[in-house]
Amino acid sequence: MPTTTQPHPTPTGESRLALVRRARRIDRELALTYPDARAELDFTTPLELLVATVLSAQTTDVRVNATTPVLFARYPSAEAYASADPAELEELLKPLGFFRAKTRAVMGLGRALVERFDGEVPPRLADLVTLPGVGRKTANVVLGNAFGVPGITVDTHFGRLARRFGWTTSDDPVKVEHEVGELIPKKDWTMLSHHLVWHGRRVCHSQRPACGACPVAAWCPSFGIGETDPALAAKLVKPGPPR
């Protein structure tokens, strides 16, 4: 007898088609809610974005943006980072915390770019992840926002929302990236990342999410884990960072 292929189970038990449709509906609604969604790190070149993303670990984008104008002016190239005076660079990076480790990181990054990529940031994931301190998350940020190469950036906000939306049950960033990527067209991956990060920072918080003020509440299987009263929920909504 011929064998029948069982449909791959979805995290919520809904059909695969229903899950895809719901995921895309949520992304469309978030796109309408956050029409200005973008990377919240300031940059003008791939190198600036790569450095800023590495520096953003364990600090806020706002603090990084306050530090990088002087940093980028002082170190305009990979060669400049590679040959930097550690004491001078540490002084510039002090406001970000962990400044000694971050000094070592950006100097090592500069050296690797000079030695292996002629001082240029490579536009390929396989190359980016070979750089010191650069994982898939950082690589996808750079690819999507500096090179226009679609990528899903699984940070803490993205992972949390993907699980709450029932798109995945995994805590593994690589698995989350692949499972969500199967639901959303590749061309939309970068903006999807922005939509979820913006929503996670503003409404769907890790603690006390503002369910009653959520634009995608009707399609969210986790509705009710946070404040559902619209007036009370509205008070939990956080504004975006100042520009």
Q: In the annotation, is 187 catalytic?
A: no
| Count of beta carbons in the 10 Å neighbourhood of residue 153 | 27
The C-alpha atoms of residue 214 and residue 204 are separated, in whole angstroms, by 8
What is the longest distance spanned by two Cα atoms in the chain? 74
Closest CA to 182 of 142, 160, 152: 152
Q: In the annotation, is 137 catalytic?
A: yes
Closest CA to 234 of 203, 206, 207: 203
Q: Which residue among the candidates 27, 61, 102, 137 is catalytic per the annotation?
A: 137
Q: Which residue among the candidates 118, 155, 188, 235 is catalytic per the annotation?
A: 155
Query: Which 3 state secondary structure label does DSSP give 191?
Result: helix
Distance between terminal CA atoms of the chain?
65
Active site residues: 137, 155
